[in-house]
Chain A
């Protein structure tokens, strides 16, 4: 008798949706590491140990300059953290990673050791989208893990719908695009057409290292190095893939829903 059974079970379980953002955020996996922090001032002269191990050239050190780490390119493999002899690159354990401007992802210089987290949309857009943001997702050349962890936000534990955020079937019904993947050349036209079909005003969100800068496939002739090459991007959410909590933080941060729930945002 599954009806009786499921109802009973349902009652016993109660509400499975997390209290966050009103309550505490769920913990990241212990070995996750979270965001990176880069203090270029700690670098030794002539050391480029981090540069030598980075798979995507996210860390660079041009001659006579300090180390710069581009979290947009970063796969969060932590090889640079292990390689650094002076502890200049460290993991902060912070799940919050979303930024509004591409250049805000470059860490290292004094004052820029940590991310400048995304602020809220401009007032006009915020008023429009705060209670209802419909997104069309476009998957364009990645590995499908960013998609998977975006999808997770629709499950009962996360319940993205409670913020009025919803993924819709048609770009005509959407307020913006959420793009994953480096944008393969083979998806270029489809992405352009989907974007054009979204009525204005519209926003673009790039989720994952691929969509920000090409990810593990950066530099391949078969891909563009991120959505920003083709479209104006309003929100960058780094990670490979970003943890669902990181994606959620980015989305509700953009809508100003974090302040509303009384959380510190910065």
Chain B
């Protein structure tokens, strides 16, 4: 970092005393946040911390080029606050969430609505943005969808086939995860962290474990960090493979669809070799986990990995060779790089817009400090690009696993977790398969969790899907949706 900032610097996966987080009167705080966003920095999280009867705002920003995170906070205030959203779109959902969780109104927010709340009969009951005109019709889909999918509500404004606007109402999966963390960690907490988004168990559990370890002033043993990285890449392989198959299925290209459906399961079974559970439940624990691979088991895993990688290679070759697939993927669901930057898109969806943005590379923590995965980008911003980035990442995760499985560090996988430091703030980012998972935790004077904020990559990215649909035929919605494949439960918490 070769420039100055009023914020406090913080490396991914570390903590600092709450008192050392710079604080400003609210207007100044917002000005500082706005100024950093103007410089092109990224908002990881913006949330409220109740203080007596008042509220503080806390901002976590990523300076990707400087490989550092920064934090700052406002002085306690009551009532409303001037919205950043009009000038900085990245803030829009965060501000709505602050309003919903704490009642502080972001003044002049262009679209102030609840994020997850029920309005008496489900979150989809309420006002939606409407386009007027004789030829305009509205299509409402969900919360219960056609397939085996999570619930969400999609409201399209269409002129004939063409979508002019899509608004997405979520909250159906809301189950009170953040609320339940207050005063924790509790006995059920780690199980709830593993199920923030069930297909992202390793990334969320790792973010949680790193946050707690940072608060406790410790690190998991190296072998545990190594195991987490192995499991994280296996999680990515399984989900990316499943996504390639699902995308193929959506354009009726069955060879890849059926092959990938099976191979995805084979990757999940590799995770199950480590801990017994296909989603990695029980593998990651604060301080390190109870499971060790063991030489023989890891050897077997390595062999089965090769088989599955060869199979997915074959299935991908079919996909890329088929002109019928390419014509459906190309120019569909296009998102500009500029839009992606503005809304703070993360993960493969952002990299498919040409943005070089990957926590494993920009803010390496844990085992990724010692072993890097190259960032996979593709410039076009369409369904093709999002599929292509997944394929690049499958290859790179495969390569990473090959290398790392041959270079296992010795030692323990678990260590006791010391008590959490009181009045301390910690932040951990993990590059999950959908993108950046951000956990921020603040302890109180008693060393218990006072505020815990989870930001799933989907929180940033649902807006990307809505934008990508503009000007598309509504019949392309399933394909566009699949190309993002976002989490409802991760968003809804």
Chain A interfacial positions (CB closer than 8 Å to B):
1-2, 5-6, 9-10, 16, 29-33, 53-56, 75, 77-78, 136-152, 154-157, 167, 169-171, 181-182, 184-190, 194, 215-217, 220-223, 240-241, 243-244
Count of A-B contacts judged by CB separation below 8 Å? 179
Distance in angstroms from B142 CB to nearest chain A CB is 9
The 3 closest A-B pairs by CB, nearest first: A145-B198, A31-B276, A143-B198
Q: Are A155 and B148 in contact (CB under 8 A)?
A: no
A190–B151 CB distance below 8 A: yes
- Size of the chain B interface, CB-CB below 8 angstroms: 61
- Contact (Cβ within 8 A) B188 A55: yes
Q: Which residue of B lies closest to A178 (CB)?
A: B148
Say if the beta carbon of B480 comes within 8 Å of chain A: no
The listed residue (B144, B188, B190, B487) touching A144 by CB distance below 8 A is: B487
Q: Which of B117-125, B336-344, B394-402, B445-453 contacts A (4 or more CB under 8 A)?
A: B117-125
**Is the C-beta of B137 less than 8 angstroms from some C-beta in chain A?**
no
Whether B261 and A142, one on each chain, are in contact in the complex, defined by CB atoms closer than 8 angstroms, is: no
Contacting pair A33 B276 (CB below 8 A): yes
Asked whether A223 lies within 8 Å of B175 as measured between CB atoms, the reply is yes
28 contacts between A and B (CB under 8 A): A1-B321, A5-B317, A29-B272, A29-B273, A29-B278, A31-B275, A32-B272, A53-B187, A75-B281, A137-B148, A139-B150, A140-B173, A141-B172, A143-B194, A145-B199, A146-B198, A152-B265, A155-B262, A170-B146, A186-B123, A186-B171, A194-B144, A216-B195, A217-B180, A222-B176, A240-B195, A241-B279, A243-B278
Residue from A151, A181, A216 in contact with B148 in the complex, judged by beta carbons closer than 8 Å = A151
**Given A2-B318, A31-B275, A190-B151; A144-B199 close (CB under 8 Å):** yes
CB of B484 closer than 8 Å to a CB of A? no
Question: Are A142 and B489 in contact, with the CB atoms below 8 A?
Answer: yes
Chain A positions within 8 Å of B146 at CB level = 169-170
User: Which positions in B face A, CB cutoff 8 Å?
Assistant: 116, 118, 121-123, 143-144, 146-151, 171-177, 179-180, 187-188, 190-192, 194-199, 201, 255, 258, 261-262, 264-265, 269, 272-279, 281-282, 291, 314, 317-318, 321-322, 487-489, 492
Using A53-B187, A55-B188 as known contacts, list a sample of 4 further A-B pairs with CB atoms less than 8 Å apart, ordered by residue number in A: A29-B277, A141-B175, A185-B174, A220-B180
Question: Of residues B144, B146, B282, which shows the largest number of chain A Cβ atoms within 10 Å of its Cβ?
Answer: B144
CA distance A154 to B175 in the complex (A): 28
Q: Smallest CB–CB gap between B294 and chain A, Å?
A: 11
> Which residues of B have CB within 8 Å of A141?
172-175, 489
- From residue A192, how far is it (CB to closest CB) to chain B in Å? 11
Contact (Cβ within 8 A) A9 B314: yes
Distance to closest chain A CB from B164 (angstroms): 26
Query: Among B122, B177, B274, B321, which residue has its beta carbon within 8 angstroms of that of A186?
Result: B122
A216 touches B192 (CB 8 A): yes
| Smallest Cβ-Cβ distance to B487: which chain A residue | A144
Bound CA span A137–B188, Å: 27
Q: Are B174 and A55 in contact (CB under 8 A)?
A: no
Partner of A184, one of B175, B187, B277, B487: B175
How close is A71's CB to chain B, nearest CB, in angstroms? 16
| Docked pose: A140 CA to B173 CA in angstroms | 6
In this complex, what residue of B is CB-closest to A7? B255
A30 and B297 CA atoms in complex are apart in Å by: 10
User: Do residues B148 and A215 form an inter-chain contact, with CB atoms below 8 A?
Assistant: no
Find the residue from A54, A171, A216, A221 having the highest chain B CB count within 10 A: A216
B198 and A148 within 8 A (CB): yes
Indicate if the CB atoms of A144 and B321 lie closer than 8 Å. Answer: no
User: Assuming A186-B123, A240-B281, is B322 touching A2 (CB within 8 A)?
Assistant: yes
Distance in angstroms between the alpha carbons of A2 and B315 in the assembled complex:
10
**Chain B minimum-CB-distance residue to A6:** B255
- Whether the Cβ atoms of B175 and A144 lie closer than 8 Å is no
Q: Which of A146, A187, A244 has the most CB of B within 10 A?
A: A187
Contact partners of B276 in chain A: CB under 8 A: 29-33
Please name all residues of chain B whose beta carbon is closer than 8 Å to the beta carbon of A78 when the two chains form the complex.
282
- On chain A, the residues within 8 Å of B176 by CB distance are 217, 220-223
Q: How far is the CA of A240 from the CA of B179 in the complex (A)?
A: 22
A201 to chain B, nearest CB (A): 21
* B191 partner, pick from A148, A157, A185, A216, beta carbons under 8 A: A216
CA distance A156 to B123 in the complex (A): 36
Contact present for B191 and A55 (CB under 8 Å): yes
Q: How far is the CA of A30 from the CA of B294 in the complex (A)?
A: 13
Q: Select the residue from A30, A54, A240 with max chain B CB neighbours within 10 A.
A: A240
**A150: nearest chain-B partner, CB-CB:** B148
Specify which chain A residues have a CB less than 8 angstroms from the CB of B148 in the assembled complex.
137, 139, 147, 150-151, 167
Given contacts A29-B269, A145-B198, contact A182 B318 (CB under 8 A): no
Residues of B within 8 A of A149 (CB): 278
Residue ID in chain B nearest A151 by CB atoms: B148
